[in-house]
Amino acid sequence: MTVRVRLAPSPTGTLHIGTARTAVFNWLFARHHGGAFLLRIEDTDRERSRADYTANILDGLAWLGLSWDDEPVIQSERIEAHRAAIAQLLASGHAYRCFASEAELEQMRERQKASGSAPRYDNRHRHLTPEQQQAFIAEGRDAVVRFRIDDGATIGWSDLVRGEMRWSGSDLGGDMVIARRAPADRIGDPLYNLVVVVDDAAMAISHVIRGEDHIANTAKQLLLYEALGLPLPVFAHTPLILNQEGRKLSKRDGVTSVGEFRAMGYTAEALANYMTLLGWSPPEGLGERFTLEQAAAAFDFDRVNRAGARFDWDKLNWLNAQVLHELAPSELREALVPLWQAEGWSASGASPEAWEQELSELLGPSLTTLRDGVEQARPFFERPEPDAGARQQLRADGAIAALTAVLERLEGRDASDSADCPDLSVEQAKSLLAEAASAAGVKKGVLMKSLRAGLLGSLQGPDLVTTWRLLHTSGEDRARLRQALAQG
């Protein structure tokens, strides 16, 4: 069988992590089998659907590396096919018009509630005579179209994740609305379960892979396939993503959209890797850090868990750090520079690219997210305010003498050869430090700590000599030391 799967997002919001994870499983399955991964934009809810959400969803999928085949199908453009299917169901007697008003349906639900029974449509208009129908039309009533769901029906399928599934027609809430209310000579707007079946069949979808919140829909959709005489796809219902408390991840949990993860500095590769682990146990030997291609080679539904997958920030952070630490310096630079530019920062010196690359390499090992690469780069672009520890160090014995000795030597260099050789090499920096320490009569440790405090306004930070060399190229080392001495 040719594998053809699809992701069917509704453009009523930005790309949600749950939709993205469903996309990952569809993509992995398609690529594993050399099949097609298709997109369908389910924009039939005209009030809530927006073109900018469609753009956001497509951008997010592309960013994650989830390439799709063919142009996305736009569901609203297929409304005639949906109406034709409804007309077919009306003609075959699988569907009928229901004239019950909202107020009548509300009364029905109130009665059900009062008697303690579950809310369901009581199929009251299933067997209207032509005369009764005419009477409702004469009253000026509109009608929905309902699809018959017999209480006695049993529905079963073999789910790739959950195994044998059984549903009874009596648990599906009575005859289902498949077209919105409209005058009885027309067919109103077709609704979700009907359109999905018509479109999945038209797109020759072989496997429907979606979240387990769609299980009851699957039961209803199977009845529609049967009534329309359409070939059945195979179904796979993936586990939900849960928050730390074990409840379904929702907007209340804060970060839920792919764009938010991206803005926090997660890489596409780490996020895609992490989403693959949300519900899939990789086989021995693959480990937990892998590319989408590696996962696709090994992917199968036997290793998708039934239990919900708890979101684990530590694991995501670990993966993101792995991805960042594996990047070549030039790749890390390419990832960081746009973020630095967004802060209004640009590199100085004769070769800004080399400077950026050296800074990227300096920060790389301590980054968990790309955002860290902004925060940790900040003191290289903006002069920091010294913190309490730095202020204390600058008042310590020998600090002023040490920094004065360093500054004098730097100024001496500037006066002699700065025009030809403004950069400070590692050797030059080290010998300048040794000379300054002995001239000032301070231990090297005091000098290093004071220099860090003077340059970074903090006692913490990356390798001092590299830090200093970078700040030297931008001319900031002298300026900061002068300022520290003036304040000290």
Residues acting as catalytic residues: 251
Phi/psi-derived region of residue 475, left when phi > 0, alpha when psi is between -120 and 50, beta in every other case: left
Please give the Cα distance from 409 to 416 (Å, whole number). 11
Q: Which stretch binds ligand GLU (CB under 6 A): 8-16, 125-133, 319-327, 410-418?
A: 8-16
Please, which residue, 13 or 384, has the CB nearer to ligand GLU? 13
Min separation Cβ 10 and ligand GLU, Å: 4
Min separation Cβ 42 and ligand GLU, Å: 4
By three-state DSSP, how is residue 11 classified? coil
Min separation Cβ 323 and ligand GLU, Å: 28
Q: Indicate which single residue of 10, 14, 276, 467 sits in contact with ligand GLU (rule: CB under 6 A).
A: 10
Should residue 358 be labelled a site residue for ligand GLU when binding is judged by CB under 6 A?
Answer: no
Please, which residue, 9 or 174, has the CB nearer to ligand GLU? 9
Min separation Cβ 197 and ligand GLU, Å: 9
- Distance set, CA 232 to CA 125, 132, 147, 200, 227 (Å): 29, 36, 18, 9, 11
The count of chain residues that interact with ligand GLU, using the rule CB under 6 A, is: 7
End-to-end CA separation in angstroms for the chain: 77
Min separation Cβ 81 and ligand GLU, Å: 16
Listed in order, strand segments (DSSP E) in 26-153 are: 36-41, 73-74, 95-98, 143-147
Please, which residue, 215 or 339, has the CB nearer to ligand GLU? 215
Q: What is the DSSP letter of 139?
A: T
Q: Which stretch binds ligand GLU (CB under 6 A): 2-10, 107-115, 253-261, 464-472?
A: 2-10
Chain centroid to CA 343: how far? 23
Should residue 199 be labelled a site residue for ligand GLU when binding is judged by CB under 6 A?
Answer: no
Please, which residue, 195 or 367, has the CB nearer to ligand GLU? 195
Should residue 210 be labelled a site residue for ligand GLU when binding is judged by CB under 6 A?
Answer: yes
Taking the CA atoms of 158, 162, 168 and 174 in sequence, report the sign of the dihedral they define: negative
Should residue 212 be labelled a site residue for ligand GLU when binding is judged by CB under 6 A?
Answer: no
Please, which residue, 194 or 196, has the CB nearer to ligand GLU? 196
Position 165, amino acid:
M
Please, which residue, 39 or 484, has the CB nearer to ligand GLU? 39
Please, which residue, 9 or 279, has the CB nearer to ligand GLU? 9
Min separation Cβ 466 and ligand GLU, Å: 49
Should residue 159 be labelled a site residue for ligand GLU when binding is judged by CB under 6 A?
Answer: no
Should residue 196 be labelled a site residue for ligand GLU when binding is judged by CB under 6 A?
Answer: yes
Please give the Cα distance from 179 to 435 (Å, whole number). 86
Min separation Cβ 210 and ligand GLU, Å: 4
Please, which residue, 213 or 343, has the CB nearer to ligand GLU? 213
Q: Which stretch binds ligand GLU (CB under 6 A): 6-14, 140-148, 250-258, 297-305?
A: 6-14
Structure-token pair, residue 104: 């009548």
Q: Which stretch binds ligand GLU (CB under 6 A): 3-11, 60-68, 122-130, 320-328?
A: 3-11
Please, which residue, 196 or 453, has the CB nearer to ligand GLU? 196
Q: 75 CB contacts (<8 Å, ≥6 apart)? A: 8, 40, 41, 42, 43, 44, 195, 199
Q: 338 CB contacts (<8 Å, ≥6 apart)? A: none
Min separation Cβ 211 and ligand GLU, Å: 7
Kindly report the number of other CB atoms within 10 A of residue 102's CB atom: 8
Should residue 190 be labelled a site residue for ligand GLU when binding is judged by CB under 6 A?
Answer: no
Q: 460 CB contacts (<8 Å, ≥6 apart)? A: none
Min separation Cβ 1 and ligand GLU, Å: 20
Q: Which stretch binds ligand GLU (CB under 6 A): 7-15, 287-295, 377-385, 438-446?
A: 7-15
Please list every residue from 27 through 46 that binds ligand GLU, using CB under 6 A: 42
Q: 143 CB contacts (<8 Å, ≥6 apart)? A: 97, 98, 99, 136, 181, 182, 183, 184
Taking the CA atoms of 364, 366, 369 and 371 in sequence, report the sign of the dihedral they define: negative
Should residue 8 be labelled a site residue for ligand GLU when binding is judged by CB under 6 A?
Answer: yes
Please give the Cα distance from 397 to 377 (Å, whole number). 30
Should residue 377 be labelled a site residue for ligand GLU when binding is judged by CB under 6 A?
Answer: no
Should residue 9 be labelled a site residue for ligand GLU when binding is judged by CB under 6 A?
Answer: yes
Please give the Cα distance from 405 to 18 (Å, whole number). 59
Smallest Cα–Cα separation from 451: which of 407, 385, 388? Answer: 407
Q: Phi and psi at residue 31, in whole multiples of 5°?
A: -70, -35
Q: Percent helix, strand and coil across the chain, each rounded to 5? A: 55, 10, 35
Should residue 214 be labelled a site residue for ligand GLU when binding is judged by CB under 6 A?
Answer: yes
For binding to ligand GLU (CB under 6 A), which residues are involved?
A: 8-10, 42, 196, 210, 214
